[in-house]
Amino acid sequence: MDFASMAQYAPLFVEGLKVTVQIAFVAVIIGAILGLFVALGRLSTNKVISFIATGYIQIIRGTPVLVQLYIIYYATYPLFGFNIPPYIAAVATFGLNSSAYVAEIIRAGIQAVDFGQMEAGRSLGLPHGMVMRYIIIPQAIKNILPALGNEFVVLLKETSVVSIIGTTDLVRQADIIKAATYSNFEPYIIIALIYIVLVLGLSTLINQLERRLKRSDYR
Ligand code: ARG
């Protein structure tokens, strides 16, 4: 075991860390925006819209993200005659993938608000839209924000599969270092440590956020 010889590869680990965090971050932003629309579609009273949104969620959640990555990365050639860069394929795949999970987070967050809140608002004479905007959504945000944070944590780890199409994330960098040094152990231990520091750090932040958001519940 020789961790000392890994020190010279620090820039590669740092580069991998950047790419991993970037992909997860951009994906969760895309996922949140798209996911909001999918969730609204799913909750819509229009049968066609809700059917399409539900189908989208089922297809994305019913297939492995690795298969989705391959389809998006390789299908662009036969379809459009050119290959997209691995990084773009990675971000697109995880953005789309995340949107289905985020849609369910948003839907669950909205539905978790007690139905009595809607009834109370309506009985005060407020129209449905206003009750949603001023009473339901503000409470739903408290359920949604921490769950979005967790989604980011999940993505940090799940994006490790993008290394397979050559995206230079943490795992890819470890592969490269392994090939250069014939050490097939140390690089992976190092990236495992990087992942766990990231995940534990973020989880702590999310817990704090959750506690802050709960504070106003006890008045
Ligand atoms: N590994 C699982 C899959 O391949 C889970 C993906 C989780 N994705 C997410 N955005 N939470 O489908």
pLDDT in tens, 3-29: 888 999 999 999 999 999 999 999 999
The count of residues in the chain is 219
Report how far ligand 1's centroid is from the alpha carbon of 154 (Å): 8
Q: How far, in Å, CA of 143 to CA of 210, rounded?
A: 9
Report how far ligand 1's centroid is from the alpha carbon of 62 (Å): 10
Q: Which atom of ligand 1 approaches the CA of 27 most closely?
A: 10
- Looking at residue 83, its pLDDT comes to 87
Within its chain, how far is the Cα of 109 from the centroid? 16
CA geometry: angle 64, 33, 139, nearest 5 deg:
105
Segments making up each domain of the chain, as ranges: 10-216
Q: How far, in Å, CA of 215 to CA of 41, rounded?
A: 32
% residues pLDDT > 90 (the chain):
90
Work out the average pLDDT over 181-195: 95
3-class secondary structure, 59: helix
Report how far ligand 1's centroid is from the alpha carbon of 83 (Å): 24
Work out the average pLDDT over 47-53: 97
H or E element at residue 187: helix 186-215
Q: Ligand 1 pocket test: which of 94, 96, 158 has the largest number of ligand atoms within 8 Å of its C-beta?
A: 158
pLDDT in tens, 95-105: 999 999 999 99
- Looking at residue 219, its pLDDT comes to 61
pLDDT bin (cut points 50, 70, 90) of residue 35 is: very high
Q: How far, in Å, CA of 191 to CA of 41, rounded?
A: 39
92: Cβ–Cβ under 8 A, 6 or more apart, which residues?
72, 84
Q: How far, in Å, CA of 65 to CA of 71, rounded?
A: 10
Structure-block tokens of residue 205: 């932040």
Tell whether the model's pLDDT for residue 207 goes beyond 90.
yes
Within its chain, how far is the Cα of 216 from the centroid? 27
Alpha helical stretches, state H, 44-169: 47-61, 65-80, 86-111, 115-123, 128-131, 137-158
Work out the average pLDDT over 184-210: 96
Cα dihedral 115→118→123→129 (10° resolution): -160
Interface predicted TM-score (ipTM): 0.96
Assess contact for 201 and 163: CB atoms under 8 A. Answer: no
Assess contact for 175 and 144: CB atoms under 8 A. Answer: no
List all residues whose CB is within 6 A of at least one atom of ligand 1: 64-65, 97-98, 101, 151, 154-155, 158
Report how far ligand 1's centroid is from the alpha carbon of 157 (Å): 10
Q: How far is CA 183 from CA 14, 115, 186, 204, in A?
A: 19, 58, 6, 33
- Looking at residue 152, its pLDDT comes to 97
CATH class (in words) of the domain with range 10-216: mainly alpha
pLDDT in tens, 78-87: 998 888 999 9
Q: How far, in Å, CA of 52 to CA of 48, rounded?
A: 6
Minimum CA distance residue for ligand 1 atom 6: 65
Per the prediction, the chain carries an average pLDDT of 95
